[in-house]
Structure 1
């Protein structure tokens, strides 16, 4: 199976991120299914508070791959830096992030479009930088981390977050067993570029790693209708025409293929905390 990884295929970027509703639907289905694991934005805040020397006096916090702004809003509310900069490459996601931030005008947040390989901020300008669930969208995540090292101020910390290679393997098994994609268990992981096992080494290419935290998050989908809302937005599988992006049709196909029952699955979430080598020395 040599098909391009969807997360690394430039031809699929508009399909994946051209509509904010797609990401909102995917996230909503996962969060409804979640049965264990701390909210990731809250863990990010806790790690910054623990590892930054002056967490109550942060100037700029950069949230890379901010998407719809969920983490940016929590960071701004909980850490109260002078400014949060949320950066993403997708205009549709940034538009929704700005709309959500307008409902909280007391928070100092700017959302900007940019390429995380060339962060549009001056050197040493950020007290903290966050890159959650975005590094595996780059074929060169080490270059992104080098950019993070460039923009971190002395004493600043970076919090990098990713998933394990075998995340949601039970979903792969169900999709294969249903016949909707018999090769579902053979497709390359979506997280190959930056995953739980290689992220500490990637971070160490430009930063000093000071903490690594692994958490097991579990999810239980109520049944085929619930699972279909997640599967319909998952680019990993090779589904028949009319199923991808169509939860109703996908749910009907699942009902026809398999008895309806809850599905439990899991994902390993890894947090790497790092700082600049200068600070380490």
Structure 2
């Protein structure tokens, strides 16, 4: 078993993404806390908008619950949009969101190391907040490049190694995980620092952008909602967000609690 839950194949294909509930709760907690930083899905669509031919074919690799896919569909109006993920539950959530919005798209269940797609099929591909689940992200980037037509654009998105490091200190201070500050970053395999190096193994990088996102959690209950969704820590005792909030109120300084994350976007092409 990997020390990093995001690289633990059993977890990634099991409890982490067997259903959509964890991502829903995590996203809700972060969105409620965000005080600075653009919506990443909007930024991705903006980065692609000026680079695509009419009626493009667009791939959303590791689509999750379909947040980015929905923005791609509504902003870019592609001739064909293909959303790919390894989780059947997340693909169902994506299909439902796209259907509800009246956006035409197809969904494909697949591992991003082995995409069941033809060579040179797409004008653009997005891989946002997913490649850090790979112990060999360059392999996944090579697959993405294989699926792009010459001149096709990829947007690869990840976070910095120190994203949300403030939580490490809060969890340790509350006595919930004595090793919280020593646990590896969830983003250690594919992060802001190695994004350029990995992208250039198969693509030509045109630009890399880094954006700081700031989150302010108003009280212990709000912080507990987020911490209950992260697999990084070995939090004890168990009992869910309500029990966690009670411990945080007792052991931490008065709120609010602030955390930061750097989100990095690489724009690259297949020559």
Q: Tell me the equivalent position of 1:256.
A: 250
Q: How big is each residue's C-alpha offset from its partner over 1:109-156, in whole Å with a ceiling of 9 and x where there is no partner?
A: 112211100111110000000000000000110000000110001221
Q: Give runs of ≥4 in structure 1 deviating > 2 Å.
A: none
Match of residue 185, structure 1, among 181, 186, 189: 181
Contact 1:56 1:79 in 2 (8 A): no
Match of residue 120, structure 1, among 113, 116, 122: 116
Question: Measured at CA, do residues 273 and 61 of structure 1 come closer, stay the same or move farther in structure 2, by a change above 3 Å?
Answer: same
Match of residue 223, structure 1, among 216, 219, 222: 219
Q: Is 1:95 matched up with 2:92?
A: yes
Q: Tell me the equivalent position of 2:69.
A: 72
CA distance in 2: counterparts of 1:60 and 1:94, whole angstroms: 19
Q: Tell me the equivalent position of 1:83.
A: 80
Contact 2:168 2:180 in 1 (8 A): yes
The correspondence of residues 52-67 of structure 1 with structure 2, limited to 5 A, is: 52=51, 55=52, 57-67=54-64
Q: Tell me the equivalent position of 2:28.
A: 28
TM-score normalised by length of structure 1: 0.93
Task: Give the CA deviation at 1:97.
Answer: 1.3
CA distance in 2: counterparts of 1:205 and 1:147, whole angstroms: 11
Task: Give the CA deviation at 1:4.
Answer: 1.8
TM-score normalised by length of structure 2: 0.96
Question: Measured at CA, do residues 113 and 3 of structure 1 come closer, stay the same or move farther in structure 2, by a change above 3 Å?
Answer: closer
CA distance in 2: counterparts of 1:219 and 1:3, whole angstroms: 29
Task: Give the CA deviation at 1:3.
Answer: 5.7
Describe the SS at the equivalent of 2:108: strand
Aligned-CA RMSD value: 1.3
Q: How many residues align?
A: 270
Contact 1:6 1:235 in 2 (8 A): yes
Contact 2:86 2:110 in 1 (8 A): yes
Task: Give the CA deviation at 1:56.
Answer: 5.2
Q: Tell me the equivalent position of 2:241.
A: 247
Q: Tell me the equivalent position of 2:6.
A: 7
CA distance in 2: counterparts of 1:58 and 1:130, whole angstroms: 17
